[in-house]
């Protein structure tokens, strides 16, 4: 059985493209598809978003749905932080330090891989830094 890892969606894998009324696409982060292709051979990939299910499903339709065997939304797990024990994963990859800080209280912080948010100053300087951080831990 493959080790399970979870990814956050927004600002970790990319950002939604919207017009004034709806989601019209998803801007997938540089290196994302290549990273997911590389990881899916070794890991079971899970997607975990704090967004509502309707949003998550719309975004998945723009090219990410094939990579994730399971997806979780706020509607599924309405918790204040992403506790990896809730979905039985070894690692969570996220852009939000809050989840690692909460995990520290349970001595789980080493299972949280925090990457620079998409579009941040760090990301703009090195758009593939986030993939390097992940590969350092997982590969």
* Cβ–Cβ < 8 Å for 73, 56: yes
What's the predicted TM-score (pTM) here? 0.95
Compute the average pLDDT of residues 113-134.
Answer: 97
The percentage of the chain sitting over the pLDDT mark of 70, rounded to a whole number, equals 100
pLDDT band of 1, cuts 50, 70, 90: confident
Which tens digit of pLDDT belongs to each residue from 5-54? 999 999 999 999 999 889 999 999 999 999 999 999 999 999 999 999 99
Note down the domain range covering 116.
3-138
Average pLDDT, the chain: 96
Long-range pairs for 83-88: beta carbons < 8 A, 24 or more residues apart: 83/108, 84/6, 84/108, 84/111, 84/112, 87/4, 87/6, 87/46, 87/48, 88/4
Q: Give the number of domains in the chain.
A: 1
Phi, psi of 93 (to 5 degrees): -105, 120
The pLDDT tens digits of the residues spanning 87-105 come to 999 999 999 999 999 999 9
Query: What is the reported pLDDT for 21?
Result: 86
Given a cut of 90, whether residue 118 has pLDDT beyond it is yes
Q: What is the CATH classification number for the domain harbouring 52?
A: 3.40.50.1000
């Amino acid at each position: 059985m493959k080790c399970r890892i979870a990814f956050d969606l927004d600002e970790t894998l990319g950002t939604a493209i919207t017009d004034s009324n709806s989601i019209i696409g998803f801007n997938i982060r540089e290196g994302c598809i290549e990273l997911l292709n590389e990881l899916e051979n070794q890991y079971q990939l899970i997607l975990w978003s704090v967004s509502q299910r309707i949003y998550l499903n719309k975004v998945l339709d723009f090219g990410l749905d094939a990579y994730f065997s399971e997806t979780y939304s706020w509607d599924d797990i309405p918790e204040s932080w992403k506790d990896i024990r809730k979905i039985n994963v070894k690692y969570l990859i996220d852009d939000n330090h809050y989840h690692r800080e909460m995990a520290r209280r349970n001595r789980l912080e080493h299972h949280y891989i925090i990457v620079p948010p998409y579009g941040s100053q760090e990301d703009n300087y090195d758009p593939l830094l986030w993939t390097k951080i992940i590969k350092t831990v997982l590969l």
